[in-house]
């Protein structure tokens, strides 16, 4: 019934091969774009079919083995796919968004050099992401994990002639390596730990079945999960490894939307959800995850206050929202975390694509006016809502969604997370408080962005301001679809308190994901319990805080546009620190980058020059010296050769005779 799961990653791979190998020959942008988009769309259709099939199926977990990979003693690893409600949701999310973003890219990347290269990489990324999501064991997941990292690197460095872009690509890759190292260590430790109990496996279903053999809350399971979480901080841009994500905005905007907002960066959240049974056994790790998540949520939000690059604000917003997801995972709200992953994918993809539409328009205008201004600087925008009405409306709806205004998608997912942070057996009111404050800050910086970009008077250069067009339909259509999803997507997860109020609307996503999470939650007594009035209280507070944030943004950036400047002047030191991202990059440079560089230079000067080169040159010098000595025997005189022959013969005969 589920035997043809391999088709889902196969189509993107096919698209990658066609565009990657023949793209230069095809040249026609329309054909290349259509191939790329159709490849993803085909796998979206297949995903939908399987999703519907799973909905009507009583058995919720299915594994199909495509081929055997490694078979060694007790260890056997297959190329296999695991299809359950969690991976079903994820493949829908990945293929659906990917289709829309591919479509958008046809318009956005129009006329770029390397159009085919872009689509090939994007297809390859989708392939790797699907492998990550569908893999039935940790190693196959790791293949996808590395694959998406590679594509992320390739696409961040898409404009490789630009120094900053190629640097950002390298930074993303290196920082991710740190996390990947943690993932690997976790995988090895888990394999060893389970092996001690007689089960040699890294298969997810077998891990879940045998996790009980490990000591509950013991040091081993804590170390294993912490290692995996380190992997997640790298891929999902959490403190301390978040620094690569804002720099990753050097890539084209569709890439930021697909990879650095909607799909790849949520891989860490997915991984924790996939191994929820293991993580639930380590309350200490869960606490660390919750604290890191909450800290990242609020920390990234502060940086978002002072950035002027439209994409960077969104990047820090992504970091902050990912923090929410980890907060959810940490307090045991697995369903809420995955739910927020979905809604975030909708509204953040829409926001990024919207910003891409704005950048596209600004770039076009500057190009027409022969100016070389930065098309991403919000200080040069303003008043764009009349120039780009569709972009504005979709962007505005998504902003309302991210701010958690009632009945938009993030309202349900974010409040579910905050409620769990407050009331879960693994939660704490401090976590809730931090999350709520961060929600207010989110509302503030997002509306700051909206006001600076779309409202107020137009601050674009006079020569360019009349040339800003609305983007073509191929770009606005995905925006509209995503805006609808961002607005109504939350209705799949209406919490019980609200559902009961209006009539018995079930929490669809919770019921759907129950086969994956419910067992863990009941086994470890994880749950959020509290009076309905308390839950309404937390909802009310977070909505209120959001409105305050919006109000403040309106006051500072709409009503009194001089206010921010005055504010910056009076708190100049604070503003400078925030503007410079709390100097975290500089700190990392000082602590890790420079010391590593110094170590490298030292090793180069000492080990490489003295020892490695010393050995190589020493051998050569030795041989040369021996040659110098021996060359004296080569006189070139026939007589001396004849003489030595005679002496040799005499010696041999003498030896034979006198032996």
**631 interacts with another protein by CB under 8 A:** yes
When the beta carbons of 633 and 659 are compared against another protein, the nearer one is 633
Q: Which of 532, 646, 651, 652 binds another protein (CB under 8 A)?
A: 646
CA distances from 478 to 353, 400, 485, 500 (A): 8, 18, 11, 34
224 within 8 A of 320, measured Cβ to Cβ: no
Q: Please name which of 430, 234, 409 lies closest in space to residue 327, comparing C-alpha atoms.
A: 430
Q: For residues 493 and 495, what is the distance between their CA atoms, to the nearest angstrom?
A: 6
183 within 8 A of 243, measured Cβ to Cβ: no
Q: Which residues contact 477 (CB under 8 A, 6 or more apart)?
A: 103
**635 interacts with another protein by CB under 8 A:** yes
Q: Please name which of 398, 397, 345, 343 lies closest in space to residue 509, comparing C-alpha atoms.
A: 343
CB of 655 to another protein, least distance (A): 19
CB of 591 to another protein, least distance (A): 59
- Each residue 199-238 as x (binds another protein by CB under 8 A) or -, in order, gives ----------------------------------------
**56 interacts with another protein by CB under 8 A:** no
Range in contact with another protein (rule: CB under 8 A) among 145-153, 440-448, 456-464, 636-644 = 636-644
CB of 646 to another protein, least distance (A): 6
Range in contact with another protein (rule: CB under 8 A) among 178-186, 477-485, 571-579, 634-642 = 634-642
Q: For residues 496 and 478, what is the distance between their CA atoms, to the nearest angstrom?
A: 32
**626 interacts with another protein by CB under 8 A:** no
**624 interacts with another protein by CB under 8 A:** no
Rg (CA), the chain: 30
CB of 624 to another protein, least distance (A): 14
CB of 638 to another protein, least distance (A): 4
CB of 634 to another protein, least distance (A): 6
Q: Which of 174, 642, 651, 654 binds another protein (CB under 8 A)?
A: 642
**634 interacts with another protein by CB under 8 A:** yes
Structure tokens at 555: 């006051």
When the beta carbons of 587 and 646 are compared against another protein, the nearer one is 646
**21 interacts with another protein by CB under 8 A:** no
CB of 641 to another protein, least distance (A): 10
Q: If you write DSSP's letter for every residue of 291-307 in order, what string do you get?
A: HHHHHHHHHHHHHHTT-
Q: For residues 529 and 34, what is the distance between their CA atoms, to the nearest angstrom?
A: 50
When the beta carbons of 591 and 652 are compared against another protein, the nearer one is 652
638 within 8 A of 646, measured Cβ to Cβ: no
8 within 8 A of 43, measured Cβ to Cβ: yes
**633 interacts with another protein by CB under 8 A:** no
Q: Which residues contact 250 (CB under 8 A, 6 or more apart)?
A: 156, 157, 159, 162, 164, 165, 168, 169
CB of 620 to another protein, least distance (A): 19
CB of 622 to another protein, least distance (A): 20
Exposed/middle/buried for residue 643 (C-beta within 10 Å: 0-12, 13-18, 19+): exposed
**639 interacts with another protein by CB under 8 A:** yes
| Chain positions contacting another protein, by CB under 8 A | 631, 634-639, 642-643, 646
């Amino acid at each position: 019934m589920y035997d043809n799961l391999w088709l889902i990653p196969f189509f993107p791979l096919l698209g990658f091969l066609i565009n990657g190998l023949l793209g230069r020959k095809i040249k026609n942008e329309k054909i290349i774009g259509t191939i790329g988009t159709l490849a993803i769309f085909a796998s979206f259709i297949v995903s939908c079919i399987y999703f519907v099939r799973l909905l009507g199926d009583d058995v919720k977990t299915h594994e199909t083995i495509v081929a055997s990979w490694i078979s060694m003693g007790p260890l056997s690893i297959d190329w296999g796919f695991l299809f359950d409600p969690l991976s079903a949701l994820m493949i829908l999310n990945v293929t659906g968004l990917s289709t829309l973003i591919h479509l958008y890219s046809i318009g956005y990347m129009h006329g770029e050099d390397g159009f085919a290269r872009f689509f090939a990489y994007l297809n390859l990324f989708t392939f790797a992401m699907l492998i990550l999501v569908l893999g039935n064991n940790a190693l196959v997941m790791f293949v996808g994990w590395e694959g998406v990292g590679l594509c992320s690197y390739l696409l961040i460095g898409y404009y490789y002639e630009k120094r900053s872009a190629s640097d950002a690509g390298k930074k993303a890759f290196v920082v991710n390596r740190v996390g990947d190292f943690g993932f690997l260590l976790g995988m090895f430790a888990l394999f060893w730990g389970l092996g001690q109990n007689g089960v040699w496996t890294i298969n997810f279903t077998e891990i879940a079945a045998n996790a009980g053999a490990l000591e509950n809350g013991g040091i081993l399971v804590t170390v294993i999960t912490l290692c995996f979480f380190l992997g997640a901080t790298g891929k999902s841009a959490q403190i301390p490894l978040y620094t690569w994500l804002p720099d990753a905005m050097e890539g084209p905007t569709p890439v930021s939307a697909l990879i650095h907002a909607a799909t790849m960066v949520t891989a860490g959240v997915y991984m924790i959800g996939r191994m929820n049974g293991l993580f639930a056994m380590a309350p200490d790790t869960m606490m660390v995850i919750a604290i890191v998540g909450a800290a990242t949520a609020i920390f990234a939000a502060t940086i978002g206050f002072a950035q002027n690059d439209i994409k960077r604000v969104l990047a820090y917003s992504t970091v902050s929202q990912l923090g929410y997801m980890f907060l959810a995972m940490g307090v045991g709200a697995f369903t809420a975390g995955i739910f927020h992953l979905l809604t975030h994918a909708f509204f953040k993809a829409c926001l990024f694509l919207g910003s891409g539409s704005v950048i596209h328009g600004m770039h076009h205008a500057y190009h027409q006016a022969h100016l070389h201004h930065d098309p991403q600087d919000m200080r040069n925008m303003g008043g764009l809502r009349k120039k780009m009405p569709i972009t504005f409306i979709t962007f505005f709806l998504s902003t309302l969604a991210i701010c958690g205004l009632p009945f938009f998608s993030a309202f349900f997912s974010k409040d579910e997370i905050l409620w769990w942070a407050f009331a879960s057996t693994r939660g704490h009111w401090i976590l809730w408080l931090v999350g709520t404050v961060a929600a207010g800050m989110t509302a503030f910086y997002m509306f700051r962005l909206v006001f600076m970009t779309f409202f107020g008077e137009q601050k674009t250069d006079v020569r360019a301001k009349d040339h800003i067009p609305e983007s073509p339909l191929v770009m606005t259509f995905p925006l509209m679809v995503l805006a609808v999803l961002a607005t109504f997507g939350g209705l799949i997860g209406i919490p019980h308190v609200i559902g009961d109020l209006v009539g018995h609307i079930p929490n669809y996503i919770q019921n759907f994901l129950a086969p994956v999470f419910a067992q863990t939650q009941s086994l470890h007594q994880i749950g959020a319990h509290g009076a309905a009035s308390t839950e309404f209280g937390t909802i009310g507070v977070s909505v209120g805080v959001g409105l305050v944030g919006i109000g403040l943004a309106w006051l500072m950036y709409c009503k009194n546009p001089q206010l921010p400047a005055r504010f910056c002047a009076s708190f100049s030191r604070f503003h400078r620190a925030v503007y410079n991202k709390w100097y975290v990059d500089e700190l990392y440079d000082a602590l890790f980058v420079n010391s590593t560089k110094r170590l490298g230079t030292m090793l180069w000067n000492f080990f490489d020059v003295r020892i490695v080169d010393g050995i190589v040159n020493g051998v050569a010098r030795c041989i040369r010296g021996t040659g110098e000595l021996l060359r004296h025997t080569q006189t070139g005189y026939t007589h001396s050769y004849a003489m030595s022959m005679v002496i040799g013969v005499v010696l041999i005969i003498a030896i034979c005779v006198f032996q």
